[in-house]
Amino acid sequence: MAPITEHMIRRRAEHNEGLLATLEEVALHQQSIERIELLGRLCPRLRILYLQNNLISKIENLHKLKDLSYLNLALNNITKVQNLQRCESLAKLDLTANFIPKAGLLSLASLEVSYALRELFLVGNPCADWPGYRQYVLGVLPQLTRLDGKAVTPSERIAAAQAAPSLAARLRDELAGEGIDVDAAALDWEDEGGGGEGGEVGETGTVGEDGQLRRPWCPATRILEHREQERAEREAEEIKAAARQDPFAPPPPPPRHEDFPPVPEGTLPMQRNEGKWEFSLTESDDGSELVLEVKVGRHLDTSLMRADVQPRYARLLVKGRLLQLVLPAEVRPDASIAQRSKTTGALVLRMPLEAARGAVAAAGSGGDVALSAAGGPDKPPREAAKLAAGGAASAAPLRRATVVAAGGLGEAGGGDPDALPDL
């Protein structure tokens, strides 16, 4: 439902510089309007009003429009002609393709006082299928000069006046035989009470044996189908809007992790850098270990960091953001050491290679690596990194190392141990 609002009217009053008090013509067609409102108060000088192809079920709230000469309500849900007695200047009324039934012909008597009315369109309504429809309408409204776009001839007007009493009696008898309250249908002409609100509309159709939903053509069906179409268009627009988003826009940040996510056995994890940390992965000069340096900032508390080293990958969890790297060679988790620089705060993870030239003394017994600020009480960090024992086979040194800066991937040469921060 789209209610008539001041903003809606003002947008369609550009030809009148947006002024409503002096507006004489406004087009509000195809706006999904279900109720006529505000027009009499905001636009008292309206002469031409287009409201076709909406969902209006009742003619109302137009009694203040004394200058209204043309009202177009085609393709709506009107079932009765009412509340137009005080539109004294009404000359043309278009009710094409509404739902005015045969009983609605009795409500045409409400237009007898509309002496200026010259043109009336009722084609496409169920009442137009009644055999005596044209003669009856011309007998009730002799002031018409055109009905359904066809000129009324003098002879036709005389014949309609002569047949009017018998046609009225026949119509009443047929309606009474159909169980319709004729007096109520004939007298309920003026009712300015609320109507046509966009409330809930019950399902009008039934499911056939073939499983297909079939709805009768009625005002409720028209509202249901229109609301379903609006919902489908809104969903399609949301999909288009999502597709129109900037493909280069940064994705939303992932949720923070409470613990390391599980990695299925026998698989390698995906490379991830959720915190956009600047880091470097290099090989030591002697080729005995891989060195991962992550610039996490000097003011970040060490208690917010966790490290996990496995033979083929290493992971860091810093403030719930995951850094996850697949290693270019197999390392020894039980001999890995994590240290923190006292000056720059950088985190350095040293991981001895499984097939190194010198075996590195074990620094822990499990895959989880404890973090320290200086490398342990017994040995300074650089000495801990240089612990070596005899004679394991030498691995081929890495020629290039992967470097990620602020979340981007690139390649750079192997790291210089002198460039590492003092630990």
Which residues, listed in sequence order, are joined to residue 347 by a DSSP beta bridge?
Answer: 294, 340
pLDDT given for residue 201 in this prediction: 64
Please give the span between the terminal C-alpha atoms of the chain, in angstroms, as a whole number.
Answer: 69
Q: Is 148 exposed, middle or buried (0-12, 13-18, 19+ CB in 10 A)?
A: middle
**Same structural domain for residues 163 and 280?**
no
pLDDT in tens, the chain (423 residues): 678 899 999 988 888 888 898 999 999 998 889 899 999 899 999 999 999 999 998 999 999 999 999 999 999 999 999 999 999 999 999 999 999 999 999 999 999 999 999 999 999 999 999 999 999 999 999 999 999 999 999 999 999 999 999 999 999 999 989 888 887 776 655 555 444 445 566 666 677 777 777 777 777 778 888 788 888 888 888 878 877 776 676 777 778 888 999 998 888 999 999 888 999 999 988 889 999 999 998 888 888 899 999 999 999 999 999 999 999 999 999 999 999 988 888 999 999 998 864 443 333 334 444 444 333 333 333 333 332 222 333 333 332 233 333 333 333 333 333 333 333
Q: Give the end of a domain, one of 171, 187, 203.
A: 187
Q: Is 366 exposed, middle or buried (0-12, 13-18, 19+ CB in 10 A)?
A: exposed
**Same structural domain for residues 174 and 287?**
no
Give the Cβ contact number of residue 103 at 10 Å.
22
**Same structural domain for residues 73 and 175?**
yes
**Same structural domain for residues 178 and 287?**
no
**Same structural domain for residues 308 and 177?**
no
Residue 174 domain boundaries: 6-187
Q: Evaluate whether residue 130 is within a structural domain.
A: yes
Closest CA to 146 of 122, 124, 121, 119: 119
Q: Evaluate whether residue 277 is within a structural domain.
A: yes
DSSP annotation of 40? H
**Same structural domain for residues 125 and 32?**
yes
Any idea which residue has 């900037």 for tokens?
A: 246
Q: For the chain, how many structural domains are there in total?
A: 2
pLDDT given for residue 235 in this prediction: 86
Give the span between the Cα atoms of 38 and 381, in whole angstroms: 80
> The tokens of 185 are what?
């249908």
Given a contact cutoff of 8 angstroms between Cβ atoms, the answer to whether 127 and 101 are in contact is: yes
Q: Give the end of a domain, one of 124, 158, 187.
A: 187
Q: Evaluate whether residue 381 is within a structural domain.
A: yes
pLDDT given for residue 202 in this prediction: 65
Phi, psi of 404 (to 5 degrees): -120, 125
Q: Evaluate whether residue 230 is within a structural domain.
A: no
**Same structural domain for residues 155 and 278?**
no
> The tokens of 381 are what?
């960090």
**Same structural domain for residues 178 and 293?**
no
Q: Give the end of a domain, one of 187, 206, 231.
A: 187
Closest CA to 33 of 6, 5, 12, 64: 5
pLDDT given for residue 1 in this prediction: 60
Task: Write the DSSP string, 228-259.
Answer: HHHHHHHHHHHHHHHHTS-TTSPPPPPPPPSS
Q: Evaluate whether residue 1 is within a structural domain.
A: no
Residue 132: which CATH number? 3.80.10.10
pLDDT given for residue 188 in this prediction: 57
Residue 366: which CATH number? 2.60.40.790
Q: Evaluate whether residue 136 is within a structural domain.
A: yes
Q: Evaluate whether residue 246 is within a structural domain.
A: no
**Same structural domain for residues 292 and 385?**
yes
Any idea which residue has 């809930």 for tokens?
A: 200
pTM, two decimal places: 0.54
pLDDT given for residue 402 in this prediction: 31
**Same structural domain for residues 178 and 280?**
no
Q: Evaluate whether residue 235 is within a structural domain.
A: no
